[in-house]
A and B are shown apart, each in its own frame.
Chain A
Amino acid sequence: MTMTTTTELKRIIIEPVTRVEGHGKVSLLLDAQNKVKQARLHIVEFRGFERFVQGRPYWETPVLVQRLCGICPVSHHLCAAKAMDMVIGVDADQLTPVGEKMRRLMHYGQTLQSHALHFFHLASPDLLFGFDADPQIRNVLGVAAKFPDLAVRAVLLRRYGQEVIKFTAGKKIHGTGAVPGGINKNLSVAERDELKKELPKILEWSVGGLELCKKFTREHLAELADFGSFPSNHLSIVRKDGAMDLYDGNLRAIDSEGKRIIDGVAPKDYLSVIREEVRPWSYMKFPFLKDLGPEKGWYRVGPLARLNTCDFIDTPLAEKERQEFTALTKGKPNNITMAYHWARLIEMLHAVEKIQLLLDDPDLQADNLTAQGTFRGEGVGILEAPRGTLFHHYRVDKNDQVTMANLIVSTTNNNEPMNLAVRKVAEQFFDGRAVTEGLLNRIEVAIRAYDPCLSCATHAMGQMPLVVEAFDEAGRVVSRAVKS
């Protein structure tokens, strides 16, 4: 049932508690005919970063804020650094070449490790074993037992991404590479050569992973096209010339037919286009395009959205793959939820190609690490994290203390779409009576396509512990199943 509105705070004490749930929870609301009327994915964690960062010195934020998420820490690290560049008066085009390129290298390393982790460790069991497979083997160790070669490649692909991060940020998880105005180290020749050595294998395996995913999608297209799919708007940043750019650019949003809704909106102007709705049943807010309102303005972000919004990709192998991808929908935006995986692996290949280009660039050995500007006191950073558009906005006072922080994390941008995907799957597979194992698996598969890094909002990895409940009109539980 819809909960009554209240601004009252909860009673907050430590006491023995009586219910344990996983981090993700879904409830289905039924109408009088036992049809699904509403589906909700509840996000159950809250950190309070926006408030407790107030009073901290601004230069601390890039290292603090990444601790929101250990799966994509580099994204938060760089996004905060970009915002702080602006705070100290350094515009994106004023970074030194080594400053920008080291950050990009770090970012592409992150994209590689995150996409590899998601596809191989988390999603591939669904594809390799099927949606109805025994949950006991539907995990990464099940993949390792049945497809050992694939598992080893998966581990090594991810490791390579982590190595790139280590050499650029000083540490695989929660490094310190980016500072306001630039970076704190360049890439030594020895580090460069070590990374270059392994690159040919990494490129080959990325292509292999993409082939695997493409083959699966094409073979199951009839089943997948409708699975949890719906038309939607799509949002990302793109480079000024329309190229996909994961590190820097202006906001562009298109509708489900490809018509542009917004374009060329600079990061500093994000407030003129984005709002987030609060709903009482989730700690995660619901972003939307301001002019369209909460009903019509929600959008998707992440690999699928980026493939849809960009005009082209500026690396040859990934661009060829993009053309093949868009041919599937005859150049119109692809609205198939399960196509996220395919899009994700095209981006992984793009990240590897970018790493290759950067490693050949002598700028990475330059010494002018940071740029200086005139203090402005406010900054917005936007980049494309592995899971989608990430926004960081800060205000800083004359004592260098943060006075305001506003973060819209990637997964939050996909809140409405994930809820809708769950609803679609429920409408399709719920028989009106019992929540079955098959329905449960499928709901998970649909949520997982979005690669929700609920760590930023909460977290989930692998098989998310999931509870699905169906309510009748009077709010009584009709059926309940727990993923176990």
Chain B
Amino acid sequence: MTAASFVGFTGQMQAHPTSFKGAVGVMTWNQPFLSDYWVTYSYTHYAAVAARAMRMEMPEGEYVVYFPQADFLLKRWNNPDSQANIYAYGGAGVAKFLERQGHAEQVGIEVDAESRTWFVMGKWETMWSNVAERFDHGEFRLGLAPYEAEFSEIASWFMIQYQYHPSLKEDYVITPLYRVFYKSFLVEAGVSIEGDMMTNFMFHF
């Protein structure tokens, strides 16, 4: 996979590190300065294996990593009108930065809570490599749904996302976005205050 294949994709929404038992998930987050691709297989509802690729635009140039990843649902609260989750994940793989090849290791944690009308999420991940400086990535999201979508209806959400990644070209980014999903297909689109497009996709089957 080359860096050019990432063109048009970048960004982050809250991931689904694990899904229902037996589910395969395909997720992409796309912004000009950050791309992230996940393919996950949940062998239980609380554990998954994933293949992940990332592209990051550092001030010195493009930084690309590929790695297998283990995802875990550490805790879930299933309430009558809400759900909350704590996920953790980590992986190690190959890194490429400024014509240098090496290795990278990454860990992350994600916490979310949602009802049918509100959503809040925070995450933090850190990646180390012998070819590039440490990559830290924090993210926070708030969302509101204008209506309570039923199971078979199209659901809509308005969200605002704050990202912090001091080693990238843009160290923090605020992006208002719109999320829509129907059945197993989810799309998000937004434009940051600085004018960067964001397009994200998620599919489970």
A binds B: no
> A residues engaging B (CB < 8 A)?
none
